[in-house]
Structure 1
Amino acid sequence: MTGTVITVAPTGRDSSLDDLVSTARECEALGAAVIRVHDPEAVPALRAATGLIVQLASGSLEVQPDMAVCPVGGSLGKPGIVPEYEITDPAQIVELGRLVDQAVHVGLVLGAPGGMPATAAALVECEQAVRRLPEGTTFSATGLGAGTLPVILATLSLGGHLRVGREDTIMYGPGRPVESNMQLVARAVGFAQLAQRPPLSPNEARELLGVPAK
């Protein structure tokens, strides 16, 4: 399936649940397919109000998100919830390869303190390691801070998917603070379209990532 899964990662920490749902709806309309949240209480509301794949980054899985962040070497232990293995160093991909025997989804985070730099070169190294994982494995990437644009462009050229949002980026450009998550999603959509890898709908993303139908 040719296209780009766009994940929006709003902080969710400085806004009400109503604001988060409103943001989710607008980002879905722009082309986002996944929303990443940290508050388990937001999961039911987002599933009821949008068609987005809801990914829980932390907290109890009893709320049954569609996806959840899983550490390398860990296990969600919850049927029906698709793991995303969050990677901050290429060595973690090598370790993951020793532990899995089927396709997985990998979330690359570049520019985190103590982790790999948010550069195209670092992303290429990760992509080469991802190729050695089981066939069908997919990856998304985000570059924190000033690394946002280099990582977006490199990810699209390497066939990966995008994560954007105010959780990762607070400056849209030099001297220009981010105004909203929608602004970041719209930019990602524009780049994906220019790369001739248009954004996938939530249903298309579910098929690609193996997420059960809503």
Structure 2
Amino acid sequence: MPASTLITVAPTGAETAKADMPQLPTTLPELVETALRCERAGAALIHVHIRDEQHRPSLDPTRLRDTVQALREATDLVVQLSTGGSVHDPLEARLRVLDAGPDSCSLTCGTVNFGDEVFTNPYPFMSRLYVQAQEQQVVPEFELFDLGQVAALGRLIDQHGLPFGGRVHVDFVTGVPGGMPGTVPALVAGVSALPAEVTSWSATGIGRTHLPIAAAALAMGGHLRVGMEDNLMLARGRPVQHNDELVSRAAALAQTMQRPAMSSADARELLGIREV
């Protein structure tokens, strides 16, 4: 059982409209303010999606570089850029995300139905992203939406060796309509199927599966991802007003389980992040 807990905050995502959730951080100043407050609350890593001036999902290279730089200057958080973007982004644009020089990137291990859309991740794209991350010294976090993607992760490791940094960290994203359900049995099955090379794992539950998955992950030795990308309600009838509410609750739960939130320095060691 790990002595402490890596808490990742995913503050924005690509699905929720700013008009529907004005408190969603979509501008760079809002994102930096969110990062600072979430770091104080216990987060050690920030998983970043960016938006354009109209608050629409974007993979603009300049915005990505500016975001990485601003977050590094303001915080000690591990900066992880999403290579998923939105379900509409072309594969080539998603590959160029690494050019912004993040500490880490997401790497989803397969195509999955995503509500009424399809989140496309064909194996050749995954393979290119894996190798590119090795070459550019970016540590991938392998996002797993179903059990088939656990097997695909094993295939990537067998084909290309260990990722940069020598560690293999995965995140189970549960509760997406079309992916694995946000239930304890589903999470247990996923963890049981992980390749031997995996050194750490985290989990998140979408929407109302948020808390059960967090509790199960802590009990099983896993780490946590929270944030408004995954959950917009703090409780029934109580919308989240700021991402630090979700981070604070996760940190309190981890403390109760005698696995307090780890520092960013410990997160860098856990994940094999390079010095910048």
Moved over 4 A (4+): none
Runs (5+) with no aligned partner, structure 1: none
Q: Shift in Å at residue 133 of structure 1?
A: 2.7
Indicate yes or no: 2:228 matched with 1:166.
Answer: yes
Partner SS, residue 77 of structure 1: helix
Partner SS, residue 182 of structure 2: coil
CA RMSD of aligned residues (A): 1.6
Distance in 2 between residues matched to 1:166 and 1:95, nearest whole Å: 28
Distance in 2 between residues matched to 1:120 and 1:10, nearest whole Å: 24
Give the alignment of 1:85-100 within 5 angstroms.
85-100=142-157
- After superposing the two structures, state which structure 1 stretch, 93-102 or 23-32, moved more: 93-102
Q: Shift in Å at residue 49 of structure 1?
A: 0.9
| CA displacement 1:69-121 (0-9 Å, x = unmatched) | 11325215133210011110012112212331544111110011200111111
Q: Shift in Å at residue 12 of structure 1?
A: 6.6
Distance in 2 between residues matched to 1:71 and 1:119, nearest whole Å: 20
**1:115: which partner in 2?**
179
Indicate yes or no: 2:137 matched with 1:80.
Answer: yes
Query: Considering only CA atoms, is the larger Rg found in Structure 1 or Structure 2?
Result: 2
- After superposing the two structures, state which structure 1 stretch, 163-172 or 92-101, moved more: 92-101
Give the alignment of 1:1-214 within 5 angstroms.
2-11=3-12, 14=18, 15-39=26-50, 40=64, 41-58=66-83, 59=94, 60-72=97-109, 73=123, 74=126, 75-78=130-133, 79-100=136-157, 101-102=161-162, 103-130=167-194, 132-134=195-197, 137-214=199-276
Residues 126, 189 of structure 1: CA spacing in aligned structure 2 closer, same or farther, 3 A cutoff? Answer: same
Residues 124, 193 of structure 1: CA spacing in aligned structure 2 closer, same or farther, 3 A cutoff? Answer: same
Runs (5+) with no aligned partner, structure 2: 19-25, 51-63, 84-93, 110-122
The answer (yes or no) to whether the contact 1:12–1:20 under 8 Å persists in 2 is no
Residues 76, 174 of structure 1: CA spacing in aligned structure 2 closer, same or farther, 3 A cutoff? Answer: farther
Normalising to structure 2: TM-score of the pair? Answer: 0.73
Distance in 2 between residues matched to 1:3 and 1:197, nearest whole Å: 4
**2:59: which partner in 1?**
none
The answer (yes or no) to whether the contact 1:120–1:151 under 8 Å persists in 2 is yes
Distance in 2 between residues matched to 1:8 and 1:76, nearest whole Å: 26
Residues 18, 12 of structure 1: CA spacing in aligned structure 2 closer, same or farther, 3 A cutoff? Answer: farther
Normalising to structure 1: TM-score of the pair? Answer: 0.93
The answer (yes or no) to whether the contact 2:13–2:228 under 8 Å persists in 1 is no
Count of aligned pairs: 212
Distance in 2 between residues matched to 1:82 and 1:138, nearest whole Å: 13
Q: Which letter does structure 2 place at the counterpart of 1:5?
A: L
Distance in 2 between residues matched to 1:96 and 1:181, nearest whole Å: 30
- After superposing the two structures, state which structure 1 stretch, 194-203 or 89-98, moved more: 89-98
The answer (yes or no) to whether the contact 2:171–2:203 under 8 Å persists in 1 is yes
